[in-house]
Amino acid sequence: QASLDAVLRTAAELGKVRLVRLLADRGADVCSTGSTGETALLAASRCGRFDVVDFLLSDTESVRVLDQTANDGQSAVSWACRTGNARLLARLLRAGAKLATPSPHCASALQLAAGAGNAAVVKTLLAREQYDLDGRDGKWPAPLALAVQWGFPDVARYLLAAGADARQVPHKFMDGAHAAAGLGQAQAVSLVAAALEGGNLRFEARQPWGRRGGLVAWRSCCGGVK
């Protein structure tokens, strides 16, 4: 049985929906976990295998472990947000997934989505949940700061429209050197600058995270999401 379950998880990871279906029909446990704590649903979500996720969510047993996390703290929802997969996120939410499921390193679903740069995911999250838009958890950058740092103007636009505080973007992301780094970043900087000017606001002197530089750690924890 354990061998059958392991093959199921591998098939889910590889996106082999027919094999997943066959193994499930032959008694493989869709709720089983491997050494990493991943279920078949988590493995499929991590790799963006929508067809496998869709099939697994038609099974009541998979729905029962919908919000389960692996050993690293990742849930199916956090993978959808971290990889910017709007279609996957929508399917998980339709099945009843909780956005409040803890994500690794205390990053919220909104922070993960902002770091991934998918505006559709960010829009979905903002429509469904109340978030601390300014990310004042003392550890990770505010979602708006992430959008500016990685050059995602559409994400920045949604966050500003939702009421994100433009002062949460550090000075170093707004200077000429950063604005010249890329068109997307320049556009995001322009949006924040306009918000600051329109609200007659000034930057806060401090950064909203620790001395070591949250964005370096953010890139590390998110596996280099760009």
State the Cα angle at 120 between 219 and 116, rounded to 5°: 5
104-132 mean pLDDT:
84
- Report pLDDT digits (tens) over 18-71: 999 999 999 999 999 999 999 999 999 999 999 999 999 998 888 889 999 999
Query: 205 vs 94, which has greater pLDDT?
Result: 94
Give the CATH number of domain 1-76; options: 1.25.40.20, 3.20.20.80, 3.30.420.10, 1.10.10.10. 1.25.40.20
Task: Using CB atoms within 10 Å of the CB of residue 87, give its burial: 0 to 12 exposed, 13 to 18 middle, 19+ buried.
Answer: middle
Average pLDDT over all residues of the chain: 80
Q: pLDDT at position 122, please?
A: 94
- Report pLDDT digits (tens) over 157-216: 999 999 888 888 877 777 654 544 577 777 888 888 888 877 644 433 333 333 333 333
Using CA atoms, how far residue 149 sits from 30, 181, 224, 226, in Å, is 39, 10, 13, 10
Q: pLDDT at position 203, please?
A: 38
φ, ψ of residue 132 to 5 degrees: the values are -80, 95
Query: 137 vs 65, which has greater pLDDT?
Result: 65
Q: pLDDT at position 172, please?
A: 73
Question: Residue 110: pLDDT above 70?
Answer: yes
Tokens representing 131 are 């978030």
106-120 mean pLDDT:
87
The whole model's pTM is what? 0.77
Q: pLDDT at position 135, please?
A: 64
Q: pLDDT at position 20, please?
A: 96
93 closest CA partner among 113, 107, 73: 113
Task: Give the residue extent of every domain in the chain.
Answer: 1-76, 132-226
Q: Alpha-carbon distance 219 to 226, whole Å?
A: 8
Residue with tokens 């993960």: 112
113-130 mean pLDDT:
89
- Report pLDDT digits (tens) over 74-85: 899 999 999 999
